[in-house]
Structure 1
Amino acid sequence: MTKTALITGAASGLGYELSLLLANDAYNVILVDIDSEKLHLVKSEIEKSFSCKVTVLVKDLSVPDVASQIVEEINGAPIDVLVNNAGFGLFGTFNNTEWKRELEMLYLHIITTTHLTKLLLEGMVERKSGKILNISSLAAFQPGPLMSIYYASKSYLLSFSEAIANELKGSGVTVTVLCPGPTKTAFQDVVSENAADNKISFNMACPSEVARYGYNAMHKGKTVAIPGIINKFLATIHRFVSRGMAAKIVRNIQEKNRKE
């Protein structure tokens, strides 16, 4: 039987790449994003290249109760793969950043992702089959001065994913959390109003390679997936230095990239 995948943030970056991988494996795909124009371009591209059904939902995932709207609009369609990918960053000290934008980030990264997982997980458990791929970040492993809310929300995604992956052992449902380092996506362009002055170039990864790594890890049922040897090392740095020192290192990196 044909299976169906729902991907958030599907109009670009890792969401786009993961949508292509799923379509290539004959999944019907439900693409969710706020960018209607790009979303429909992706729909056309997939329909030209693959024999699968493509549904688009133009949604702002940073507003309350949008997860319920999505589930209502798919009208009970069983979802075999859920990819929680949508996200954005915000640069600056916490006392100077805009609360409205931070609240949107918290809704997007935490509330919507958690709620959508909650709503779709029930059917997966009943069918004793399903895969969930949450996109976190290397940022999840340490505090992040100058991007405090982003780092904290990605830490939540890592912890949440690991916890429910454990709960679901033996259920037929797996949860994978992908934690990439800097990846060449549109994310780099929306971190701040001065994005051109705040683009990280060190250890920059190709989005298609990162997506493939996460996709393979999901199908293997791996819980935590960290692509790249450097990233695997950086994810363990907290074992060797204090959290205060880790925060200082992150801040130095952030400030350096801000100036470049």
Structure 2
Amino acid sequence: MSGEKQPECSYVLFFLFSPHRLHAHRSDADLEEAVAEVLDHRPIEQKRCPPCHVSVELVGSCTTLVTERILQGAPEILDRQTAALLHGTIILDCVNMDLQIGKATLKDKTYVEKLEALFPDLPERNDIFDSLQKAKFDVSGLTTEQMLRKDQKTIFKQGIRVAVSAIYMDLEAFLQRPSLIADLRAFCQTHIYDVLVAMTIFFNTHNEPVRQLAIYCPHAALRMTVSLRPRFTLRALQSSACTCCPLLGSHSYTEVP
């Protein structure tokens, strides 16, 4: 209403989950002082973590830690819709709690069961996993930039800024996309990356995940360094068995641990 004094917001607090830091070279990096806490399930890069309380626990899904906080600190805010979001995310992150894959921990299992006990009408695990997995791998209609940003991490190493993007399709299909090199070049220029690593993921006929790497680097000298050191790249990505194929080079590599 005109003339009526509006309530003022004196401060805003942010809580960072996985990934645990704000992006450098972006306007949101200025918000770092407003971060109240970091909650993550991966090792923390201490030099790049905001100066606040940091909680790290190695579980399969960071959502498990969020669920734990809610149930221990504010269980009254948990309704069925929120429970469904938490439940589905943990199941997806932990690959349907598959013991053979080994991503789920005892804590992940415990909090999935707690949510199911509180809300018995939650979807069956197999149903929700199949539905979410299908949606996750559906990249139809996405531009190359949207695919690169869909699941992206940033690595800083020796002054080099590297983008690592999970691409949910076969490497050969990705390489056949029209204007791919121009799109990769534009992506690196726009977001200020020195190297772009596209890690394609698809499932073979045995329903096993297959990962392949394609590396794009517009700088000739740096490209040679990256191309000749695939083992370093693979270790940095903590990948298992990958095919490494530089987009702007004449060599290809395969590493099996």
**Would the TM-score normalized by the shorter structure come out above 0.5?**
no
Larger strand fraction of residues: 2
Work out which of the two has the higher radius of gyration on C-alpha atoms and give 1 or 2.
2
Determine which structure has greater relative contact order: mean sequence separation of CA pairs < 8 Å that are 6+ residues apart, divided by chain length.
Answer: 1
Q: Could you tell me the TM-score, scaled by structure 1's length?
A: 0.32
Q: Could you tell me the TM-score, scaled by structure 2's length?
A: 0.32
Larger helix fraction of residues: 1
